[in-house]
A and B are shown apart, each in its own frame.
Chain A
Amino acid sequence: MSAFMNPEQAVADRSAPTAQPRQRASDIRARGEPFTWALGGALGVGCLMIIGFLLMVFWNGVGTFVPKPIAVVTTTGGEITAGEATRTELYRPTPEVVAALSEAARQTIADRDGFAERTLYRIGNFDFYSEDFRWVSAFDVIDVKYPKDIVLVERTEWGPFIGHIESIAVDGEVIALDSVHDPRFAEAHAQARARWSQIQDIERHQIGAVNYRINQQRLTLRRIELKDGRDSQAYSETKRAADAETAELQSEYERLTEQAQALRQRNAGMTVTLEELGGREKTIGIDEIVRTYPANDLSSSEKISIYLSRWWEFLSDEPREANTEGGVMPAIFGTFAMTLLMVIAVAPFGVVTALYLREYATQGRLVAFVRISVNNLAGVPSIVYGVFGLGFFAYVLGGSIDQLFYPERLPNPTFGTGGLLWSALTLALLTVPVVIVATEEALSAVPRSMREGSLACGASKWQTIKYIVLPRALPGIMTGIILAMARGAGEVAPLMLVGVVKLAPELPVDGLFPYIHLERSFMHLGFHIYDVGFQSRNSEAGKPMVFVTTLLLIGLIFVMNISAIVVRNRLKKKFVGSQF
């Protein structure tokens, strides 16, 4: 404070020590310090909230895949609970419960004003217990152990299993296992999983491609039927060719099915018997096991390798267990493709609109009205855009496209339902005001001297815009596009109506002609968060996934923004680096 003593005061003190110092000079309102503090404080609060939010997401997201120790808890009733401790909280037990406790336990609760501590354990074994999580009150606990032989098994069905691996059976031969580190288990597991991926590949991709071609034959035939009628020459010729082709494809299909069946048969002979702590056993196929590890007996390097392999699975795999396990690769891809498509749609449209508004339109009432309307568009709830997108894009536009170009597929809609293209266009509509406003700003910031210089050289207005104004305004336009991208990538509500689904069987881009399928529905990280967090069987199980997916979505938007900013700064250096 004293370092910022105002100079007037100091001067007054020096020149006229006896005179009354002027009141106005030292008035705190005049110096504006409270306002400075208020401004800084507001900024500080804003930063704190954002940093707090990011830290929370980051911390929870980063910690999700760390392998946690499994506690085996014995409680007063003699009950044994084994699981990963997820969180601990205070709660108020009912008076009847408290009354039944020992003197010491009652005293502890009374000291805490009636609150007792309890811990939530992730116990897994949903197929036995019909629950994923169990609360254990601290006053019930007799003993907590971390036995080294207990194993966590990640399965493709029923969630994790916690217990022991009893034995494995390979082609009828039963091998009892002493430890999870037994190489025979690892070998059998690797074989079974390899076959499992082969089966996946055959069933998903190869048979998918055959089915696709059979369907194409059917559609070609149907198209000719619609065009020339069933009795025409063309129809009978095509039918003959199609029948031959289809028969060939059919035999191909059967061959592949047999192949898959054979692999399945091999895997069926490889089973593993698991035993939970209560002694109940369960036998499953080895190929149903994703990953096994002794949770209480891991070295640091093993922990890191499990952690990384879980991240890799998350980023590169498809979801399983109703999205609460496995990966989100289709959602990453869908989000990225949709955002990219949206930028491709919104950038030219917004820029052209802004160019006309700013450069050509007579600045009168009509333009002012249009401008206000555009700004107001930015305030319309996004779900309204979703309704519009569904009604106009999907039903009206898509319906007409289906009538004109895909009559053979009716009544199944092709473009006449939600899909990638309509989602991108709906979001483009949602974000176009941002681009228009930013572009207008950028255009009006182009110095008049530049335009005059160009016009004086005999350039027409269009040439001036093309050669001088647009390049110069490009960084500003990029800023608008970046903002639009950030807004669009994070939007979920309208997408739920126009094309995002919980689980998309196919990616919008694949190896089948025409390679990019804009009509397909897709997965989206934002919707994935909503779905896993609030629509799944057990929201507690989905919570870590929500954090990881949020972290990923923020990361994706961050990466896209950073790349756009890098491009913008390059442009800025090139076109605006002048002192005038």
Chain B
Amino acid sequence: MNVDARIEFDATQYHVKDGGQGVVLDIKDLNLWYGTAQALYGVTMPIEKGLVTALIGPSGCGKSTLLRCINRMNDLIDGLKITGEMRLHGEDIYARGADVIALRKRMGMVFQKPNPFPMSIFENVIYPLRVDGVRDKALLEETVERALTGAALWNEVKDRLDQSALGLSGGQQQRLCIARAIAGDPEVLLMDEPCSALDPIATAKIEDLINDLVGQYTIVIVTHNMQQAARVSDNTAFMYLGRLIEYGDTEVMFQTPKTARTQDYVTGRFG
């Protein structure tokens, strides 16, 4: 199962679906080390604006690491080293002196497990605005309604916005987290296996929601579930042992993959 060191991805082999709105996030030759262990090898990957891009691959392939690089969540880890470039609308995320907090305000993130804060539903949704110091009540109320409607949760919770978010079901909590992520009007929405802790019905709801959000937001989603990638994404990137093996239009990828390893993975022969 050792990856053949000679398999280097050839960028000309991209068959990426074009969203028509240009590239929002441009990753070039990104290498990453946790201490001395290298986790990402020369990842080059332009992400199209307004589309859903799925990251797939077996466990430990670096897809979550890559996702967490985008909003610099990995900064919390000691001994992290990164080379290469990552640009959000042409602006280098890892530039010296870049404002990490301002960067994170331009992105939203949804985690594997729902992580609502121990506050009311209302306070949860407006948290990104709260930390910005917004006090305008009308704006806050409007944001809550917009975000919760966007996350398909408004009808379920509109009568109990002041109750604790911890009283919601797992699926509702995850949709609340999505509402929180989109409340700050992010340019990119990052989702790290958002359905892995949910039951099939809640999963279906989240997937519907992702389909609704396409166009408004650029979404990057990490998933273990091949069918989910096929259902929700426009483009798919297949990663293996820290390398980007194939990146392109989801339909092409699942029907006629360009590399043998991708074929093995999407048909379930390994992974």
A residues adjacent to B (C-beta < 8 A): 447, 449-450, 452-460, 463, 467-468, 471-472, 574-578, 580
Contacts and interface: CB of A to CB of B under 8 A. Distances in A.
A455 B115 contact: no
Contact of B115 (A453, A463, A575): A453
A577 B104 CA distance: 28
Given A455-B73, A457-B127, A458-B132, A574 B164 contact: yes
Interface in B92-110: 101-102, 104-105, 107-109
B73 A456 contact: yes
For the complex of A and B, 3 pairs with smallest distance between CB atoms: A458-B105, A456-B109, A449-B115
A457 B104 contact: yes
A529 B268 CA distance: 78
Interface of B: 71, 73, 76, 101-102, 104-105, 107-109, 111, 113-118, 127-128, 130-132, 164, 166, 177, 180-181, 184, 190
B108 A467 contact: no
Contacts of B164: 574, 577
A467 B109 contact: no
A580 B198 CA distance: 13
- Do most interface residues of chain A lie in helix, strand or loop, or is the interface mixed? helix
Contacts of A577: 118, 164, 166
Given A457-B104, A472-B118, A574-B118, A580 B113 contact: yes
Given A457-B184, A467-B130, A452 B101 contact: no
Nearest to B114: A580
Given A453-B177, A459-B127, A574-B164, 13 more contacts: A450-B115, A452-B115, A453-B109, A454-B117, A455-B76, A456-B181, A457-B108, A457-B127, A457-B180, A468-B118, A472-B118, A576-B118, A578-B116
10 contacts: A453-B180, A454-B131, A456-B108, A457-B128, A457-B180, A458-B104, A458-B184, A459-B101, A468-B117, A578-B116
Contacts of B127: 454, 457, 459, 467
A453 B111 contact: yes
Contact of B111 (A449, A467, A471, A574): A449
Given A453-B177, A454-B117, A472-B118, A578 B166 contact: yes
A450 B117 contact: yes
Contact of A456 (B71, B113, B114, B166): B71
Contacts of B102: 458
A266 to B, nearest CB: 67
A580 B115 contact: yes
Nearest to A451: B76
A453 B104 contact: no
Contacts of A472: 118
Nearest to B197: A580
Contacts of A456: 71, 73, 104, 107-109, 111, 181, 190
Nearest to B177: A453
Nearest to B111: A449
B118 A459 contact: no
Most buried by B among A454, A468, A471, A578: A578
